[in-house]
Structure formats: C-alpha cells, structure tokens
Amino acid sequence: MLNRFEYEIRRELDKLQKIGVYYFRLYDTKTFRQVSEKIIAIKQPCDFIAIYNGKTYLLELKSSKLSPSYKLKYIKEHQIKSLIEANRSGNGNVVGTFLISNRSNVRNLKCYVVSPERINNLVKSGAKSIKWEHLKKISLMEIPRRKGGWDLIKLFNI
C-alpha cells in the first residue's frame, strides 16, 4: 500500500507518461507483508525508477509529519549506498536521489530533492535528524506543489 506522498508522486508520474516518461514502482518487504507476514522481499534501491530523454532516475521517497526536523533513521544504509553507486556508475545518465516531503503543515506541504551524497555526509557526521530549514538549504531543488500533487517537470528537465 502506498503512503499519501508515494500516491501523489505515482499520480504525477502517470501524467508524465503522456509526454514520454516511463516509470515503474519497486515494491519492498513492507508491501509484500500485506499479503503474508511470511514473505520477505529483497532490499530495493529505491521506490520508483523513471526514464526520460536518455536519463534514468532512481527516486527514493521519504515523508514525515514531524516538526521541526526529519529523523534520518528512516533512511536506510542500503538506500544511500545504492543511490550513490547508481550515480557513480551512470556516467551522468543516472540520477539517484531522495525526494523528502515535509508534511508537518498540511496547508504548506514541501518536497525537497536531496542527493544521497549529502544524506550520507549527514549520517557519517553522526546527525540523528536534520531541521527542515537546513534540509531546504542542502537540497538540489524544491519540487513545487500543485493541487493534489507535485510538479515534477523541473526534476526531469522537461
């Protein structure tokens, strides 16, 4: 089952298919456990893989309703490593990134694109959380909000 943020991003990706963005969702153990507690899936590098105009995008989605900061414990080590490795291996044609949504104020939702290298630096420094203001400063960009979703045009350079 998708959380609200994942649902919104999936809906936006569906819209972008009309202009040539291909994507698919990778499911993790949490999703499969809804069918049976006995199922264990392999660790996935990200939530969505999207391809557009010769580039592949690995998108790991995170969201939190907590204020004033995001807890880094929700980002798993294998996710950071996978996205960093994809960026290194992709020769500029692969973009592995985190989309982190601040949902603490329902009237002012935010979404930041953050590189796995920056997240890795925070984790290595011993940080347990990052204030939303600082996350905004270190982000590559902020994804604009639109009614019921997110404007991913900027992310894909469309």
Closest CA to 98 of 128, 125, 64: 64
- Which residue did the predictor score with more confidence, 29 or 70? 70
pLDDT at 106: 87
Tens-digit pLDDT profile for residues 8-45: 999 999 999 999 999 999 987 666 556 666 666 678 88
Predicted pLDDT at 43: 80
The pTM (predicted TM-score) of the whole model is: 0.91
CATH of the domain at 116: 3.40.1350.10
Q: Structural domain of residue 70, as residue ranges?
A: 4-150
Residue 49 located in a structural domain: yes
**Is 155 a domain residue?**
no
Tally of domains in the chain: 1
From residue 147, alpha-carbon distances to 9, 11, 129 in Å are 12, 12, 29
**What pLDDT, in 10s, does the model give residues 37-66?**
666 667 888 999 999 999 999 999 999 999
